[in-house]
Structure 1
Amino acid sequence: MTTTIEPAADVEAPDSAETGIETLGHANRFAVWDSEFRYDGRIRVPAGVKISKVEYAYYGRDDKSYVTATVAPRGQMGTSEQYEIIDLTFLEDSDVITFTLRGDLNVDAAPEQNQYSRTYRLGVRLSLNDGTTRITHVPVEVLWPHYNADKGYAGRPFVRLPYDTGWGGSPNSQAGFGYVSDNGYVAEKLIVDLVNPRQDVKDVASNYSDHVYWQLLHEDGTPSRLTPDPAKLNVKGHQGGGTGDKRILEAINLRDAGDKPGYYRFLVWPQSIDTASGKTSIFSWDRTNLEDAFQIGSIYYRYTATGATGARFSVVPGGPPDVKLSAGGPVGYPGVRLSTDDGPVPVHTVQVSLPTGMGLAFVAEGNPGYMLTVLDGDGAAKHYPGQLSADGQTLTFPKVNLALAGKTSQSIAFVAIRATDPDTTGRTSLTFQIGTETTQSTPIEVGAR
């Protein structure tokens, strides 16, 4: 009988980051064994607006339950239903939020008769703290992992989507999706496991696999200098769900290669040959066609070179001594300490956020109101006015001179806050985001008298 290979559904036109969710990449094709969701996206929001809730279509259908992912610290690389904010860029009038999402799925139903795969239209929904909601959908092609000519299951070779902890990798097997590298170095993250359901089956086409092609592709469509063209990688093909023949890519360094910062998709094209002729099989995935690629990983490379956007600097908790606050008590001034060995550092946008549920509020002092104070190494102060977000949780200060003018400069930055709830007690801190650097402030004791 004739075997029919169903292609993946056409990809929807990408949403705009300004009005929806821009899809950077996602796990687009995998076997029913690997029913997992991986998604990387970006949104542009008004200054100070944050993501309050992330959900996705657990069953691949909008008329069934959406699962809520919990937020995890950047770089945690967990294995639960989680999302991470992997980059936050402050513009003059808006913020750009790049995030990665991971979790389990239930999209492992067998395809219909004479079909090799089933395609799901999988939704991602974001709720923002300004009360708005954004949603997008991506196609996910779920492959049947066995060869059965009588049922029309073609048995094309495929690569698996690593998950949990049983495949190797560091710190887990799925850390290579949404991985953030500040210096461009990536090791023990990218895993290739090549399955050929026809492997070693006699007298059939496509019955031997021993390699794939792979490529890192930047979000703007240009390839990494490491892989200007899809590169061959020898991987032992096998039948079955074991992972003993997997291949973990050797360490790579995007910075050393001269690659530009940004988001890179890890794309793989599985290959097979017909042993009778020794030629590449028509069941191989075409490495000249992006639609044929399996995305099984992603890297967000955040390195900023000295001289491109100014010298690098560090920011750590500090400023005035530990702050003790109580309702009706005096104002406190939590802050951060900044330093550089590269100076001078140019102006940056500074964003300061309150912790939730701790009964704290920013205090407007002087004219025109909310202020960020920066003390240089000699103790001289400069004040920068800020804009309070609609929910009162975040202050944004544009074009702040961080007073890091020399090669080895130090400075302090802080804001004014007060306690508003007499029943709230505990230890907490503010969050300072300065350019791409994030840290907590001076510790704050709430309820101290």
Structure 2
Amino acid sequence: MSSVISIAALLAGSGLLLLAGGLHGLLLPLAGLAQGFSDASLGLLGAGWALGFMGGCLAVPLIVKRVGHVRSFGALASLAAITVLLNLLFIDAAVWIVLRAISGFCFSGAAMIVESWLNERSTAETRGRIFGLYTMINLAATTAGQMLLTLGSASGYFFFVLGSIIYSLSLLPTALSTAASPQPLTQAKLDPKQLWRNSPIAVVAVFMAGVSNGSFGTLGAVYGRHIGLDIPQIAIMMSLALLAGAMVQIPVGMLSDRLDRRLVLVGLAVTAMSLGSSLSLIGGNDPVVTIALIAAFGGVIYSMYPVIVAHASDHAEPGDFLRISGGLLLIFGTGTMVGPLLASGLMTFTYPGALFQVTAAAHLSMMLFAIWRIRQRAPVKTEDKSDFLPVLTTAQTTTPETVVLDPRTEVDETGGDI
């Protein structure tokens, strides 16, 4: 209990950051549609976010090294608040894409700084509890941010101003904290050869999961609007998908601890492919059926990333989990950048359900490669497996510091690169 009290302010700051991020992430595509932006432009919003997010993961550790944690967090949270308001001043798709990239940069950097404080406050005995509590708060805050849109119209100024206020409020817990600054932030680096040697299926699957999650996270609301759902229905739909993902991870994780994780991944891919194919065909004839299918779809696709990371961890040498999971994070981020571009282009030239044709193609590729790898490599024995841990992954919410906070990570005392 004392460990939770000591980090309450940091968790509050993180919750506010995720609350604003959840609101802003769902608001922009809906507001863009109301302004007449094309599906292709809305897809570029998602790609811009992913590009900025990965840029923040790479660059913010260098900024923090120069000016410190508190100043860096203040600058990033303030800039994030400003970009939300600039969306109101410049109603232009190209400007919004640039602003979305800046938002992604600020969000990832601010999240990394909060997580580095949490890492500093956690011990080997408390890290698991802190990681679990942090994941729960992030889930609740992101869901609450999306559900705020049930209270009004996405085409007005209210939610933009509210999002900016919440980003600004996230400054207070860290700005008023008397805690000493933590160690330097962890910087992710990509070593494709090491990742491929460790687990080829993890490399392919995490990229395809990024394509799927990025496409759905960016354009799911656009799909909902095109098939006739109203704003509250879309907010409920996207929130249920996220909540289902959190709930399904537990039984999926237990199953993957007992079976070959690649078989579990094949099962998830087949299920997601079937659900996606159904969604691409049914349209919006029955909103209840559509929302139920979307919830099931979210439950499946948001369960894939932690299974992939756990499988890669099974094959990692002692002390290599941090480096491998950090590399997988960058590959996942690349997928979240590519996915919205592919899906929005196909939606522009065909029909809204084409979104789920892209996700189905990604899951088919994942399934086929996993089946091939099952024939090439023996499964890991149950007693040699690492622990499965749930991870919240929407379009892009996991940073290198989240990986450090993961209890499976063996962290050195000085931080550094992964």
Question: TM-score w.r.t. structure 1 length?
Answer: 0.23
- Higher relative helix content: 2
Compare CA radii of gyration and give the structure with the larger one.
1
- Higher relative strand content: 1
Question: TM-score w.r.t. structure 2 length?
Answer: 0.25
